[in-house]
Structure 1
């Protein structure tokens, strides 16, 4: 089962991906984690990434795709994987398709958690206020201004990835505003439908 999770920050991708990891025994792959692991392991593509990062540059799509390509060859990803936070652009989506095709693989499904962004912002403001009231530090991601910037970046750069997969018939929209268990149930039934068709 090879999946991609799309959706704006705060939509619940991490929560739902963790449930799928537990249920299906496949890894959730975050490009940030993979990048750090490749750099730490000193793999050829990791060394390239390190050189770019040390110079203060942004790691190119080619390097990121190379890291994903290496990672999905590992034993724990043989049954499948969940990509979270990647691809972020149509160019990355196209490069991912080519890379998977070169390995004789394809994506089973792209899940988009659809949420009302104004409610998301309200949720974050409430979470930050609750943390402050409880005398706890506010997570950097929960700073409403930081969160709004992340949403703007998502809408500017990443929201275009969903139509790319929709046009290819791979996108399944999930109502991310429902309670967590309902969201999980929607995802499970979408995956069951693909398994039955396959």
Structure 2
């Protein structure tokens, strides 16, 4: 299957993508991973991306699109893939359409993870990260530490990242609504979109997504 996963920041795309890709035995292609891999390997696209990022500039669409095309052309993606974070805007969606047409492939589904905006803000703004180890993540409401501000694992100080502050989250949501949300209508016109309520336990959301994909296959 060839799937695009879309949803606002804090919707749980990365978590769901990992579960779905494993269940479907297809590669999980995430934009962040593409950038890291290309830069660490020193590819031409990776070098160009690094130049823009070092200058504090946005990486142009054509570089992101090039990385995505290269990854989708790898042998492990021959029978399908799950795209997470790509396409991010209409230009990238049209480029993906063109690539799939050129390679005689088609998307099977676009899963739209739906989360109320206030819940998104609560999820992200409530995160607290350990200064000693960023893999130690807590949440003031959903997974609070035993002692406020102290990591249960190593005793390090917990802090809120700048990206997780409420005002920053709301700005990220504005960007999502203006740039990414239009791709949902783009794919609705192709009859590909299924909206997945993304509230509830991780496993419950995965079950909803898998059920939707099974209906797509039927």
Shift of 1:127: 4.3
The answer to whether structure 1 residue 99 and structure 2 residue 121 are counterparts is no
Match of 2:197 in 1: 175
1:120–1:76: structure 2 CA closer, same or farther, 3 Å change rule? same
1:24–1:48: structure 2 CA closer, same or farther, 3 Å change rule? same
Q: Which stretch shifts more, 55-64 or 182-191?
A: 55-64
1:50–1:121: structure 2 CA closer, same or farther, 3 Å change rule? closer
- C-alpha root-mean-square deviation of aligned residues, in Å? 2.1
Shift of 1:145: 3.0
Quick one: distance in 2 between partners of 1:139 and 1:111? Answer: 30
1:109–1:95: structure 2 CA closer, same or farther, 3 Å change rule? same
Match of 2:75 in 1: 75
Q: Is the 8 A contact 1:111 1:172 kept in 2?
A: yes
* Bigger helix share: 1
Q: 1:135 aligns with which of 125, 138, 150?
A: 150
Quick one: distance in 2 between partners of 1:52 and 1:135? Answer: 37
Q: Which stretch shifts more, 39-48 or 71-80?
A: 39-48
Q: Give the number of equivalent residue pairs.
A: 196
Q: Is the 8 A contact 2:127 2:160 kept in 1?
A: no
DSSP-derived class of the 1:149 partner: helix
Shift of 1:80: 1.5
Q: Is the 8 A contact 1:65 1:99 kept in 2?
A: no
Shift of 1:54: 4.2
Shift of 1:10: 0.8
The answer to whether structure 1 residue 195 and structure 2 residue 217 are counterparts is yes
Deviations 1:5-28 (A, max 9, x none): 111111111111111122122221
Structure 1 alignment gaps of length 5 or more: none
Shift of 1:143: 3.0
Answer with 1 or 2: which has the greater Rg: 2
Shift of 1:48: 3.4
1:126–1:34: structure 2 CA closer, same or farther, 3 Å change rule? closer
Structure 2 alignment gaps of length 5 or more: 129-139, 152-157
Quick one: distance in 1 between partners of 2:159 and 2:210? Answer: 33
**TM-score under structure 2 length normalisation:** 0.80
